[in-house]
Structure 1
């Protein structure tokens, strides 16, 4: 539906310029959200919906849409948040200044790609949509393509995410080799057997590379802050509810397959907790509002990732179910919460930028009284992100701490030794989360008002721009008071899809969410400690924030990326200058060298070369004589000192080939060859009269050993391939079919004519068409030349 709508967006933009194009586009995600909402009740009961469209049946590739609790939740986020983002963009993007047809086509393309990712049950179609999200996000991030930062940010995001996607494709191929199917559902049922396969670990690593790059995990997160150069509606959509969540979805979907691996548990949990700390720590360093939110997104994605890794522990111990069962539930619950509070915060950052002309937090301050509604929404979102009640972020943060505390209680996979690190790192990261949450709202809306540093006179945003963030902020509060309704309706079906080895139906997920458990828990004490230490560090922030400037820029990941790109730019330019000589001879030299090495090397390294002498015909004396004549004629063409000698040698080669056709009982081919050679020699002789005389340097081609070696190697390669192919026929030759059916089916006696006219009729038709077009082109050029001569004659 979004793809179809995208086809009409340019037409609407051109014909209805008095109406903002966003109003036309808004109907698409809103309608889809309503359609998906009709499945909520049935999916909450454990029902699953599928639809299949064959795509490439010969390769077992189909577009299979699979709607269960996990994919439905993501589909609702994609369309629901998408509707609010489109509504927000109507008031954010000026219809007179912006190229809205481009923006909305890219947005709808991205929406389709994300829906394809979360609903695909086929590995290849999932990869297709996965890379489509990278391409469409590249277009969205680089929407303001006249800005250097936008182009560079778009390029960085595409290089990293597409590179990870290619790794993921390798993992998918290995999964197919292990299981013999592209269906994710079927692979999940084979999970115990797949774990014993020698390719299992490689598939796991490759798949995680794809997930980590897309979800901005350490060290691949560097693309996300640079992607903030996109318009704020793009940031609010891609980086709160959709693109970065694709990696989360991938890990969640494949957890039933890889949960049996110790490596999966440690990598997903370890990388997630490290990303959580890294993102929260460096968010406090940022001075750009969207930069703060970008690093906070990195941090929050790490939190969700670590929970998904911890949820896999339940696969290994029945005793762990009571203590670690909160991990998967907390991951999905926080995914929903993050989409609500982060989406609203991104929109508020865009509003501040739109109304003041800057996102630099050093120039902002004192906007609370000028923009009270924006301040209220920002405060709700920030306090939820900090994990404080009465906001939904508090509930999922408490469950996160519960899951991290539970990890240290297990005696396998080394958790009894290293498990204590997880709650410690989680607690420290939560302190910095508290700090950057208050840092975002306090430095923007509180403190001293600095009108002299603001490009625009600030004022509250129009109500149209405020509707979407207000609705999201309302969800932040509502979810806190009705968490179990959200849990029963959306979270439990998704958890059951992630942990089918624990739960048969969503109703089996026996988790009850409560803000107060009736007694003081370790998680609550950790939260109190986070608030106390967080307040102290926030109050003293000016005294220690300068520590960030002492980090050497040379050792940052961004600097490493820049150095790699610069090195590649310089190195590849030198390489291209060396080989791109504008000489066709050199290009053919490179191509033939590579082809020869690959083909001959493959034949012998793979032991694929065979000659079945018993199937070859004997070589007769006159055939040998003709072969010698053919070689001599070819040598004359190459070594001739005059053009006339070369033409004669070329004719000898052609006529000798015609004699071979006569010997091999192919009179039609012989006749064709004789006609072509006669015409060719005649044309050469006619052109010969008009050619300039040969210069001394052109009298003879210099012998070059490297070219001689390559030409001989190419000849040997073709000969070996022909002999090997003739000796290893895996299926009967199609010529047998032609012999048997040329008269009975085609009604002809001449097999060559029947093949050309009937069996290869379309091929022959296209050849005739090409010749006809070429003839018309030649005729046109002749007429143009004649007309030009006539004009010249008239002017004289």
Structure 2
């Protein structure tokens, strides 16, 4: 079932080609997430009872890598979000994307690949398989963000997201490898059984830092959050799917999944909660100044992701107490994180779709050009109010319930006498409250700047009107869930949230679980007074927004994260161009220098450091005077090649080296090698002579560094000689040549060389002949093309 999106991705191009003129391809694609979503719904009762369905298929069993998947409370929540929101996004895209103007087969292939990859991430038990799916989400999201590749901003946003998320993914892979080394297994469930062993290892902290880097980059945590606003260049259905409900939640999933291993430590607590709080504040502050509706939603997504991440970090203190009553006190934060995870997907998905409708029906997302749309687009206005007020934390919407629980979790954590929270707990409260005020402000901007005020049609590219009902179905369903969850939150909690909490905090599950009921009214609590303060200050600051929003201009652009990213990228590209231009000269001799120098350094250094240079001359035959004379002649001929001033002299000297070598083979009783060398040398010299008149004179080339060439040549020759002598003096086994002495008895051949080539290595020789035949056919084809005039182009 989890591989169904990949299977259907193969079929989409054929369906598109067959029905392109009659049926929108999205109608076929929508069946995939809908079927999987219904299947996941059927698993809810079983998983709520504590059962964990699993499946394993052998992949690379020799190294312990198998396709192992299992469904528990945590993975089920993400699976339902991936497929449920996915089905609504596909429905929305059917009306948003025109089948006449868009390459829908590409769009839906990328979408299905991403959906399958996300399902693989959240259901995988093997961490290396999880990594494969993790990187697949990065590649698929790159393709989706760059769907309108004709636009420069789309390509830029896709490149930025790929660079940042893949960099984080590689760090995460290194962390996974360290984690598997500590636990001696790739299975996540098996690693949970060895938590104490893992935490005592010196690799524990490096693994944690590397894995968190991957999680933070994928979930757009500060300072890696800069890729998300630029990813808004993707079509709105992609923004609603990837950047509200699925991809950006992958890092959230990873942190939640690994909390049983890394939770309860001060490093995990401060990194996850601290970075989450910074991200929460950073996103909310930047959302207020945005002029583009999708840009506003992008920074609001960053802020909300920081909120969820901070709750997971604060709640991880529960692991430290091992499941007792005090552990339950801090587990509320984890419960709030899971609750807000679901709520965020509903209200943010609906808001992205509404913004897409506004863009689709007016031709712009610029807040300065919008206004007065409430009467013209009443259904869109209703959805926008529900989604925005829920994100602002107002009743009667589900965001109010999870925002109150967020305040509860922060209040509990501020009282923690652990990890230094007795000194910094108040800072968490202040940041949470200030970020909530700015969240309220940008939610009011989204609603009132867009739908109220004066309608000015001259500023719009199209005359505004309500979207077709088909485009409204998906956001209306999500908005309905926002309200429905507010009135029936405990149904969601009993069947989904509590089973997921038991997975993240197994100690609490072992002690009977967390008996928590969600309610809209708890009396006049500190959380409620914090909400009153948020609304009061938020309204006041929104009214006087025009006065203080100009303060944003005071911040120097040179210090923004985007500017630092662009400057860093330009610096790296400039350095790469300079470095590449330095060694890519276009001359073969320069490339040969690099290759030979590298070989001298690598092989020669290895021989030197490993004491590999030792010789045994005891069994060698004595060198006769005429052999020494031939070697001396070859040496003189080689020097002549190096110092010659004309091509002809150089060519004669090269031929002399080859022919002297063939004579050396003769005196060493190797006539077959001598004959081969003579043939090769003759052909080589002849070919040089044929091309002689096309070659430039040496003095015209101005060849530099002849002494360098000589030193490199001598170095390579000496290295090969030393390697051969060292190998001859370090024989670990008897020579195989003794086997071929019996060639007459074994093969009926009197010539050992012929026997080896034809009998013992007959298949190898046949393949070599086959390669020569292919090369000959290639040469013949090129000659025929040239003769027929086809090569002129």
Pair in the same fold by TM > 0.5:
yes
Q: Is the 8 A contact 2:158 2:231 kept in 1?
A: yes
Task: Please give the residue correspondences for 1:341-740 in structure 2 after superposition, counting only pairs within 5 Å.
Answer: 341-504=347-510, 508-517=513-522, 519-601=523-605, 607-610=609-612, 618=620, 620-621=622-623, 631=635, 634-635=638-639, 637-639=641-643, 642-652=649-659, 654-655=661-662, 658=665, 671=672, 674-675=675-676, 677-682=678-683, 684-685=685-686, 688=689, 691-692=692-693, 695=697, 697=699, 704-715=706-717, 717-718=719-720
| Count of matched residue pairs | 778
CA distance in 2, matches of 1:4, 1:746: 54
1:146-161 equivalences under 5 Å are 146-161=150-165
TM-aligned CA distance change 1:117 to 1:613, over 3 Å? same
Distance in 2 of aligned mates of 1:403 and 1:9: 46
CA offsets 1:621-653 (integer angstroms, 9 cap, x no match) = 358787666655644554556145234324236
Farther-moved stretch of structure 1 (295-304 vs 32-41):
32-41
The answer to whether the 8 Å contact 2:637/2:654 transfers is no
Structure 1 gap ranges (5+): 790-796
Higher mean alpha-carbon deviation, 531-540 vs 181-190, is at 181-190
User: Do 1:634 and 1:653's aligned partners in 2 also have CA atoms closer than 8 Å?
Assistant: no
- CA deviations on 1:180-206 (whole Å, 9 max, x unpaired) are 322222222222122222222111111
Match among 20, 28, 33 for residue 17 of structure 1: 20
Q: Pick which of 612-621 and 310-319 moved more.
A: 612-621
- Contact 1:55-1:62 at 8 Å conserved across structures: yes
Q: Which moved more, 1:374-383 or 1:714-723?
A: 714-723
CA 154–628 in structure 1, closer or farther in 2 if over 3 Å, else same: same
1:594-628 CA distance string (max 9 Å, x none): 44434545666xx5343575799546435878766
**Relative to structure 1, is the Cα distance of residues 29 and 549 closer, same or farther in structure 2, using a 3 angstrom cutoff?**
same
Q: CA shift at 1:42, angstroms? A: 1.8
Deviation at 1:593, TM superposition (A): 3.0
Query: Could you tell me whether the CA contact under 8 Å between 2:659 and 2:678 is conserved in 1?
Result: no
How big is each residue's C-alpha offset from its partner over 1:352-380, in whole Å with a ceiling of 9 and x where there is no partner? 00001110111111111111111111111
Structure-2 separation of matches of 1:735 and 1:488: 73
Aligned 8 A contact 1:609 1:724 in 2:
no
* 1:5 counterpart residue number: 8
Task: Mark the CA change 1:652 to 1:363 in structure 2 (over 3 Å): closer, same or farther.
Answer: same
Residues 637, 650 of structure 1: 8 Å contact kept: no
Q: Output one character per residue of 1:545-574: Cα deviation in whole Å (capped at 9) or x when no partner.
A: 222222221211111112112223333223
Contact 1:141 1:231 in 2 (8 A): yes
CA contact (8 A) 2:182 2:197 kept: no
Could you tell me whether the CA contact under 8 Å between 1:356 and 1:454 is conserved in 2? yes
From 43, 52, 55, give the equivalent of 1:39.
Answer: 43
Residue correspondence of structure 1 range 82-161 to structure 2 within 5 A: 82-161=86-165
From the superposition, tell whether residues 179 and 717 of structure 1 become closer, same or farther in structure 2 (CA, over 3 Å).
Answer: farther
SS at 1:51's partner residue? Answer: strand
Distance 1:572 1:648, change over 3 A: closer
> Using the alignment, how far apart are the partners of 1:765 and 1:221 within structure 2?
59
8 Å CA contact 2:607, 2:613 repeated in 1 = no
Query: What is the CA distance between 1:210 and its match in structure 2?
Result: 1.1
Q: 1:307 aligns with which of 308, 311, 315?
A: 311
Look up the match of 2:220: 216
Which position in structure 2 is the counterpart of 1:251?
A: 255
Structure 2 residue aligned with 1:778: 779
Which deviates more, 176-185 or 469-478? 176-185
Deviation of residue 759 (structure 1)?
Answer: 8.7
Gaps of 5+ in 2: none
Change (3 A) 1:380 1:590: same
RMSD (Å), alpha carbons: 3.3
Q: TM-score, normalised by structure 2?
A: 0.90
Say which of 327, 332, 338 aligns to 2:333: 327
- Give the match for residue 66 of structure 2: 62
Q: Structure 1 631/455 Cα, relative in aligned 2: closer, same or farther at 3 Å?
A: same
* CA distance 1:126–1:688, shift in 2 (3 Å): same
Q: Indicate the larger mover: 634-643 or 456-465.
A: 634-643
CA positional deviation for 1:768 = 3.8
Distance 1:447 1:700, change over 3 A: closer
